[in-house]
């Protein structure tokens, strides 16, 4: 399962692509269709999770306290981005890009969905 989590993200024009498992699995998401996104901070330090064995092998803080973003689009597709799988600086850049697209297009998409119902 650890090999599956080796992932990277590519952005070309308005398409965010999540590539897993050495390129065998690809998921595309059009950033113009973002309705909303949710940020979540997960804290799995030793006091909250005493059975966490990662602490024995790694001292890097990002494996114990990390952020995830779940993106929702108009065509009912979702994508989860996890900070554990990338550098924190890259996660911040990606979060800024998602936030920018959501501000630009999210309100329009949400209004269009409400009008169609």
Task: Find the angle CA(74)-CA(25)-CA(40) to the nearest 5 degrees.
Answer: 55
Q: What is the DSSP secondary structure assignment for residue 75, as one 8-state letter?
A: T
Question: Strand 7-12 to strand 78-82: parallel, antiparallel, or no bridges (unpaired)?
Answer: unpaired
User: Each residue of 16-55: pLDDT tens digit?
Assistant: 999 887 778 899 999 988 888 999 988 776 566 655 666 5
pTM exceeds cut of 0.85: no
């Amino acid at each position: 399962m650890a090999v599956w989590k080796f992932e990277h993200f590519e952005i070309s024009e308005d398409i965010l692509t999540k590539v897993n498992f050495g390129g065998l699995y690809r998921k595309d998401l059009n950033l113009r269709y973002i309705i909303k996104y949710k940020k979540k901070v997960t804290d799995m330090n030793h006091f909250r999770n005493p059975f966490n064995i990662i602490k024995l092998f790694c001292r890097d803080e990002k494996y114990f306290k990390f952020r995830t973003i779940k993106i929702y689009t108009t065509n009912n597709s979702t994508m989860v981005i996890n900070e554990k799988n990338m550098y924190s600086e890259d996660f911040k850049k990606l979060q800024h890009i998602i936030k920018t697209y959501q501000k630009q297009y999210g309100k329009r998409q949400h209004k269009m969905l409400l009008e169609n119902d």
